[in-house]
Amino acid sequence: MADEYEAGNNESSYSCLPPPDCNKGQPWLVVSHGQQLQRQSFYTILKHRYMTRIIPDMRNKQVLPTSFGWLALIDVTTQECCLMNMSSMDKIQLPRLGLKSIKNRYFRCTLSKPPGDPDCHVLLVSTTQNLLLFCRIGDEKFVSRRNAFQDDKLAATTNFQGKIYAWMSKSSNLVTLDFAGNDVWLDTLGNDNRKGEWPLSSNSSPWDYELMESYGKLLMVQKIYSFGEIIHFKIFKIDPSVMACEELQSIGNRNIFLSNFGSMCVSASGCWGMKDNLIYFTLSNDKNLYAYDIEDHSKTFYMPCNIAKRGALKFWIMI
């Protein structure tokens, strides 16, 4: 069980967190809890301790990690939406989602370009319903449509080398995604000319895949289940330029961090005391944090915040 840092529980600035033990920041698991998600407990995997703060920017919001050091913030009541940069604290206002309700609807966010680019599009994909929304920064409203492309759907998306790549849940095709007016266009890559060992389609949830950029490489993580429980992960390195795929038995000095709201891959180099070659993940139906050892397939679990109740929102950020 995690210990709590002392004092300062009503602080409202990220600067009140303990100084990072890493040269370039460190990953924190943030647990938003309380009746209006008004409290944020920051958990460090380096010391297995948490501290609770009140961060106005995160109150009553889904917080979605995305590309280029930005977060997407969605107010669960008003549906107001913005992007926030964790380094500069700059904000970019986006349109309201304009849905009847987003209760029990959770999203993931992918940016097509850095937000300073006038052609940057924001893509929101619901992980709980058959829905996606998108807009260009500066638009007055989001466009919404079903996450349906003939009999297939987007299972995972990420920005890689200036393009949005997506993995299709039924066909197991790798595609690139672009925006044209009020619609989304998919370009299926040369899937008939694949090289190497590729992931197989899953018979369970389409959200069993994760795509992420990792230090110039495109990675896919596939969750393997038995009787509803994650028992194993497969990790693949994909080279879209030649449609080659290789299953990895190790990710070296890196770690992968997964949540319902997004994923990231972070180097353990320069982080004193951080183990490597692990996958940290959370589940929506319990309060634990799990660490999966890629080498020996063992799992360890932690209680990142013992004051949060079930239903708290858990996501990863770099500070």
| Domain assignment of residue 127, yes or no | yes
d(CA 233, CA 11) in angstroms, rounded, equals 38
Q: Structure tokens of 153?
A: 């759907």
d(CA 245, CA 18) in angstroms, rounded, equals 40
Instruction: Report pLDDT for 7.
Output: 38
Q: Structure tokens of 256?
A: 């992968």
Q: Which amino acid would we find at residue 310?
A: R
Q: Tell me what the mean pLDDT of segment 282-308 comes to.
A: 92
Structural domains of the chain, count:
1
43 Cβ neighbours under 8 A, 6+ residues apart: 2, 28, 29, 30, 31, 49, 50, 289, 304, 305
| Domain assignment of residue 50, yes or no | yes
Instruction: Report pLDDT for 14.
Output: 63
273 Cβ neighbours under 8 A, 6+ residues apart: 21, 46, 47
Instruction: Report pLDDT for 19.
Output: 58
Q: How far is CA 83 from its chain centroid? A: 15
Instruction: Report pLDDT for 76.
Output: 94
Q: Which residues pair with 168 in a beta bridge?
A: 154
| Domain assignment of residue 274, yes or no | yes
Report whether pLDDT(295) > 90. Answer: yes
Report whether pLDDT(11) > 60. Answer: no
E-assigned strands of 20-146? 27-33, 39-44, 49-53, 61-65, 70-75, 81-85, 91-94, 107-111, 121-126, 132-136, 143-145
Report whether pLDDT(307) > 50. Answer: yes
82 Cβ neighbours under 8 A, 6+ residues apart: 72, 73, 91, 92, 93, 94
d(CA 153, CA 298) in angstroms, rounded, equals 32
d(CA 234, CA 10) in angstroms, rounded, equals 41
For residue 47, name the pLDDT band (cuts at 50, 70, 90): confident
Instruction: Report pLDDT for 151.
Output: 86
For residue 4, name the pLDDT band (cuts at 50, 70, 90): low
For residue 24, name the pLDDT band (cuts at 50, 70, 90): low
Range with top average pLDDT, 207-216, 235-244, 305-314: 235-244
Domain that holds residue 309: 3-192+255-318
Reference 62, options 319, 318, 313; nearest CA is 313
| Domain assignment of residue 235, yes or no | no
Please give the radius of gyration of the chain, using alpha carbons only, rounded to the nearest integer. 19
| Domain assignment of residue 299, yes or no | yes
Question: Whats the size of the chain, residue-wise?
Answer: 319
The string of pLDDT tens digits covering residues 48-82 is 889 999 999 999 999 999 999 899 999 999 999 99
| Domain assignment of residue 25, yes or no | yes
Instruction: Report pLDDT for 6.
Output: 44
The string of pLDDT tens digits covering residues 181-231 is 899 999 988 777 788 888 876 655 556 899 999 999 999 999 998 887 899
Q: DSSP secondary-structure letter at 172?
A: -
Whichever domain contains 158, its CATH number is: 2.120.10
The string of pLDDT tens digits covering residues 112-170 is 999 999 999 999 999 888 999 999 999 999 999 999 998 899 999 999 999 999 999 88
Reference 28, options 10, 58, 252, 8; nearest CA is 58
The string of pLDDT tens digits covering residues 77-107 is 999 999 999 888 899 999 999 999 998 889 9
d(CA 293, CA 245) in angstroms, rounded, equals 22
Reference 19, options 38, 60, 47, 41; nearest CA is 47
Report whether pLDDT(250) > 70. Answer: yes
| Domain assignment of residue 220, yes or no | no
| Domain assignment of residue 198, yes or no | no
d(CA 58, CA 47) in angstroms, rounded, equals 24
